Structure formats: structure tokens, C-alpha cells
Chain A
Amino acid sequence: MKVSLFVTCLTDLFAPDVGMAVVKTLEYFDCMVDFPVAQTCCGQPAFNNGFHHDARDLARRMIQVFENSDYIVTPSGSCCAMIRDHYIHLMEGDPVWEQKATEFVARTYEYVEFLTKILKVDLRLLSLPAEKTFTYHYTCHLRGLHTTGEPCIDLLKQIGNVHFTPLEKAEQCCGFGGTFAIKYSDISRAMVMDKLDCGNKTGAQEMIVNDGGCAMNIGGACHRHGGKFIPRHIASIIWDAIESGKTASPRSAGTSGVTTAPSGAGS
């Protein structure tokens, strides 16, 4: 299966390890991963701030960059929701681009969605090197993908040595919201402090946060105000498990990290 990675600008700059974890994990599950280097940004910041003309230009660019991709996978829920919820609408009135947008949208997946709906992975043979407690924050833009946090939590729980403890007000926005965090920093502060308090109450060491922006916001608050946990992307957790199992499990005898997928994985 050929998969193109849309890494997103925030992940490119601030969380390259998440991008690498996605690449290596997809390869582990028998995907041929490529990274179209011409990619930049989906246009979400411009769109959300009302600059729809600029957003349209960037959307067209995205569609062109990924024109030859079978699947486009991104580790960011909000960028995926931007594409799925708004690209077709943005091209309205231009039938050619509307058609292109429709096809592009149909091939674009958020990472967890791709693992669970397309690859249908089974992580039960994987295990973290040591016991760890996790909690999960529902990043808002998953609403745009019409999904709950359950698929991700289910994946997480399949991995050995994982303990899960739910987060109070898990579905309440962390206060990122792109430029919102800067334009309305007072309100954003109250929101992220609430998230921090709820996170601290769980006793978890790590909070799953599958969006670059939310992770920066929550992580920054943890660092400033003494959070007892750190935000991490599910891709990093899964890769931790795969990597640690390399020597322990017979199925990872390969050299490149590209090995036979566990039972249940589609191809």
C-alpha cells in the first residue's frame, strides 16, 4: 500500500520525531511511505481567520502536491478536518477544482483513522519496555472527522504495559485554537490551566494529544506551571512499542524496520 505523509508545518518544525514515528510505523505495517517535499500548509490558519482567498490558493497547492498519492495520511486531526470539512466548499463554483477536491478529500486520513479503518492494525503483540500510565485528551477537530476518542484509546489499550486512566473534561478544548491562543490569551490561559489541573489529577505520566498545536499549548503549560505529565502523540507511543519489541519479538527480525505485519493488519 502506498501512503503519502502530510506531516503539517507544526510537526515539521516542532515535533519531527512524531513525523518519523509515523513513517517508521507505517513501514512496519507494510506501507510504502513517501514524503512529497513540495508540501507546505493546508491553509487552516488563513481559513479560520477569514482569509479564504489565501486559504483557497494553499488548498489548490495541497491538492496538486498530492495528486498522485493513493492515500494521504497526517498526524494532525485539525489539518485533516480542515481538508475534509472545508476544501470542497472552498472550491465551490469551480467544477474542475471541486472534483479534484472531492477526490483528494476521499483519499486523506488522520493517522489513527488510517490505522484503524484502512490498515485495521492489531497492536496486541506489542508492548512498551516498562509500565506506564496514560490519559487521553480529545483534540477538538476530531469532531470534524466525526470520531470520538475511542478508536485511539482502544489502540493504546492494546499495547502491553499500558495503563489507562480517563481525563476529566477530556472533550473540553485546551485553549489552543491557533491564533486564538495569542489573540485571547486571557481566555486561553483559563482553558489550558483547567486542562493542566485535570491532567495532573489523573496521575498519568503521559497524555495522548494527537495534534501538534494542542500539544504545544498543553506542553508549554506543563513546562511553565509544573505539570506532572507530558503530552505525547499516539504515533510516538506505538513506535516506542514497536522499537522496544524489535529484539524481543521474533517477527521483527528484519533489518529495515519493514517487517511482516501482525495478524489482523490489512494490506
Chain B
Amino acid sequence: MSQTSPSADAASDTRPRRLALPVFHPNFLAEAHTAAADANLHAALDNSVTKKDYGRREALAQLPDADGLRELAGKIKSHTLDHLDYYLELLEKNVRAAGGQVYFALDNAQANAIVIDIARRTGSRLVVKSKSMVSEETELNDALIAAGIEPLETDLGEFILQVDHDHPTHLVMPVIHKRAAEIGRIFEKYFKVPFTEDPQALAEMARVYLRKRFNEADMGISGVNFAIAETGSIVLCTNEGNGRMCTSRPRIHVAIMGMEKTIPAWDDLPVFLKLLARSASGQALTQYTSIITGPRRPGEQDGPDEFHLIIMDNGRSRILAGEYRDTLRCIRCGACLNACPIYRKVGGKSYGSVYPGPIGALLTPLFNGLEAHKHLPMASSLCGACFEACPVKINIPELLISMRKDLVESGIISGPERLVFRIWSWTLAHGWSYRAGQMMQRLLLRLLKKPDGWITRLPGQPGEWTKVRDFPAPAKKDFRSQYATYRKSATQRP
């Protein structure tokens, strides 16, 4: 794979690398504790993500064979990942053939340096951005500001976050944690206008402002939903029209993608278009689907003078080589977040990094290391709603369990817990010790029970259970004894 960085500085950067993913809230337990008690948050999330989850189900049910399509999409992605070196070279060749430039960035610092180089060379001072999770991953805005270049988010949600110096908490609905009144306050301060919480009026304020800025911008930066290797095209799926403005109005268009966004061929695209919007929001298609192949050609009216595609690794090669390759199938639709009962209770902020929810619980430890994020794979009831929702069939619960195995094998799980499980499995490995264990549990628990048959306080760690709910006392006679008695009486019957 050719390295075509214009920046010798970036390529020879020997400074210690920052974490692959920025972490905004490192303490999962503290964040989750607060969020889990926030009934307003739960109501807001039910009103958005839970509704979107039902929308997804309905939209997928309209397809003749949604399950078959998901299977196919997963297979296409897996095939691409299995041959990613080949498809990336093909993509590079065809983007160049269409008149674009291609850069491979090893990490987020390099990716940002490439963008800054292009901006400096082209004299770009104002950069308008359409929504891009990869640019959140690289913290591109901070890097641009540090380089004296003004970035401006133009997706309404991302714009609100930028103005408020906040971070997205959902893959496709970045500002889901803010209510209209809060946004009204933010805009009141920013635009110096009277307070309103009318969503229509707030959106209009942003629209008028952004429209003006689009015309002043030198460079547009977009993400990439799909990059088609066969044609060298990038595909953008957006709802607000800002993506199209960013990629057609300014002189320069820079698209930035994680390398796993590649798909082999034009004919593969409909498979993903049918699934992406349905899975994300229950729409058949997003309002805008832009397919961009190179810059404006001679004789064409619209489009930028230059088109640059930055393909970022940032740890993906390492993931590709390991047992978690399937996580790279992800098309960032957010369906697993919407379906997740944990996300619905702790919100996106708790997950700490740019990638929240079930897929984030895998990606964050994969990118940044397991030790610092050991709660993410553990804090799941393994209900499987994410796997059921995933349009590319990433078996998230199974991968979470694999990661728990890694936690055990790498010694991150504490000694006492290991001991408990050793004793527990030894007890269960013999009939007599199992029966003795069950009998002891029965006797002890029955000592603790109240007259109504319930235990209201358990000692030690099991006390976490009775903090929340009562614990049933075991029956006076367990199943084994009841069954033995039943059999005895049955044989004694005439």
C-alpha cells in the first residue's frame, strides 16, 4: 500500500502517539450511576432511540427478505475486509483516475496534518464540515483551530455541539442528550437573540447563519458512508442537505474515511443503501444520497476544483488482524444503540469515547486497550438486541463475551472473582457437591427470609441485588426432592 502523505512532518512524527480514540468521560461507573438515575434522560431516550428502534423494525419488515439482505451485507463487508489491501489499492487507483488525490493516514495526528497541509496550500481559512465520526475520532476541529483555520460544523446537531463545546452521544443523532430548551439557551447566547425553544425557529436560525457561511467557505470536509473501489466514488447519506453544500460549494473537498468503509463494487451499493437509512432511522432512504466521483470536470457547472480522500487506519489494521475483525463491518447506523436497553438507561455519554453503545463497547477497548475500559464489555446483560438489529450482522454479544474471556486471560479480572468462579465451577462439577451447595444455599437463604418468603437484605456483594429488589427464598423442598417424592408415589399407585 503506498503512503502518499504530502507532509514529511506527519510521516516522520516520532512523538508518542495519543490514544487512538479521544476519551471524554473516562469513568464509566460514575457516568452510568448518574445517568441510570435520570428519569428525564430515560424519557428523552425512549422518545428518540426507542422510537427509532420501532421505526427500524417497521421499515425492515417492508423489505421482501430483510434477513437475507442483512446476511448479504455482512458477507460483502467480510469479503472486503478479507481482501482489504486489494480493494484499498483499487479504490486509490480509481479515485486518482477520476482526478482526485488519495492519502493514507496511519493515525489521527497524521490525518489531521494532511488536512491542515491541504488547507494551507490552498489558502483555506474557513472549513465547513458535514457530519463525520472519523473527524470526531481525530479531533479534527481542535487541530484546525490550533493551526489557525476555522472549522464550522454544518450538521444541525454537530453545530449545536460545536457552539456548546460538547461531544456527540449517538452515532447518527449527535445531540440526542439535549432538549429543545437547552438548545434554545445555547442559541440565545450564541446568536444574541431572545430565547425560544421552538425547534422550527431554532433550526431556522442555524440555517440562515450556515447558508451565509457556506458561501464564504474555502474548503468542505465530509465523512464517507461508503467508498466504492470499482469506481473511485464516495457515497454520502445525509438528511439536512448540508453534506451536499459542503461538497459542492467550496473550492476544495476533503473526504475522510476509516479504511473499513470500502465496498468492492457499484452493484454492492444498493444492498447497503436499502439497509442504512432503514436501520438508522426507519427511513427508506436518507433525504440526500450523494455519489461523488472526483472533482468538477471540464465543462461541469458545479463541484470543487480539488477532491482529496484521506483513508485512515488509526489502529484498524491491528483490529483487522485479530479475532474482532467483524467489528470493522460496522456502517455506523446506530441501530444497536437504539435497540440497546443499557444505552436507553445510561445514554451515550457514559461510554466515554466517540463511539457509544454496544458497538462502542467493543470499539473503544479495541482502539484504546482493554484495561482502561474494562467495564464496557462487562456492563451488558447480553440480551442480544444489538445483534438482532445490526444490518451487517455483527454478533456483538458473542464478541463481548470473547472480550470478557480476554479480561480473564490477561489477568485484568481480579483474583477474588477468579477464585469465586473456580470454586463455583468445581462445586458444579460433581453431583454431591452441587447438592451440598444447593442445600447450604437453601438453608442460609431460608434463615434470612422474612415471613412472606422474601429476603430484603443479602450480605456482601449479593447485597447489590437487594439494594434494588427483594430476593426470593428457596422453596422448602427443591425440585429434586419433590420429583423423587412424586416418582415414589407414582410407582406406589395401583
Q: Which positions in A face B, CB cutoff 8 Å?
A: 7, 9, 11-17, 19-20, 23, 35, 37-38, 40-41, 43, 45-52, 54-55, 57-58, 61, 85, 140-141, 143-144, 169, 171-173, 175-178, 180-192, 194, 216-217, 219-221, 223-225, 255-256
Instruction: Identify which of residues 472-493 in chain B touch chain A, using a CB-to-CB cut-off of 8 Å.
Output: 472, 474-475, 477-483, 486, 490, 493
Label chain A's interface by main secondary structure.
helix
Label chain B's interface by main secondary structure.
helix
Task: Indicate if the CB atoms of A16 and B379 lie closer than 8 Å.
Answer: no
Chain A hits for B456, CB < 8 A: 224
Q: Which positions in B face A, CB cutoff 8 Å?
A: 32-33, 36-37, 42, 50, 341-342, 344-346, 378-385, 387-388, 398, 401, 403-409, 413, 417-418, 421-422, 424-425, 428-431, 434, 438, 441-442, 452, 454, 456, 461-462, 464-465, 467-472, 474-475, 477-483, 486, 490, 493-494
Q: Which residue of B lies closest to A44 (CB)?
A: B382
Partner of A192, one of B418, B469, B471: B469
Can you show 11 pairs from A to B with CB atoms below 8 A apart?
A: A9-B438, A15-B475, A20-B479, A20-B482, A49-B404, A50-B407, A140-B385, A182-B461, A189-B468, A189-B469, A224-B456
Q: A17-B475, A140-B383 are in contact. Are A50 and B404 (CB under 8 A)?
A: yes
Given A48-B401, A223-B470, 11 extra CB contacts under 8 A: A13-B442, A20-B482, A41-B428, A48-B404, A49-B421, A54-B424, A175-B341, A178-B382, A190-B42, A220-B454, A223-B454
CA distance A46 to B472 in the complex (A): 23
CA distance A193 to B456 in the complex (A): 17
CA distance A244 to B407 in the complex (A): 52
Task: Indicate if the CB atoms of B474 and A14 lie closer than 8 Å.
Answer: yes
Chain B hits for A189, CB < 8 A: 36, 467-469
Q: A51-B408, A169-B50 are in contact. Are A186 and B475 (CB under 8 A)?
A: no
Chain B hits for A19, CB < 8 A: 479, 482-483
Task: Indicate if the CB atoms of B429 and A221 lie closer than 8 Å.
Answer: no
CA distance A216 to B468 in the complex (A): 12
Q: A40-B434, A57-B429 are in contact. Are A181 and B407 (CB under 8 A)?
A: no
Chain A hits for B341, CB < 8 A: 172-173, 175, 191
What is the distance, in angstroms, from B48's C-beta to the closest C-beta of chain A? 14
Partner of A256, one of B382, B422, B490: B490
Chain A hits for B379, CB < 8 A: 180, 183-184, 187
Task: Indicate if the CB atoms of B468 and A192 lie closer than 8 Å.
Answer: yes
Q: Which residue of A lies closest to B409 (CB)?
A: A50
Task: Indicate if the CB atoms of B469 and A223 lie closer than 8 Å.
Answer: yes
Chain A hits for B407, CB < 8 A: 50
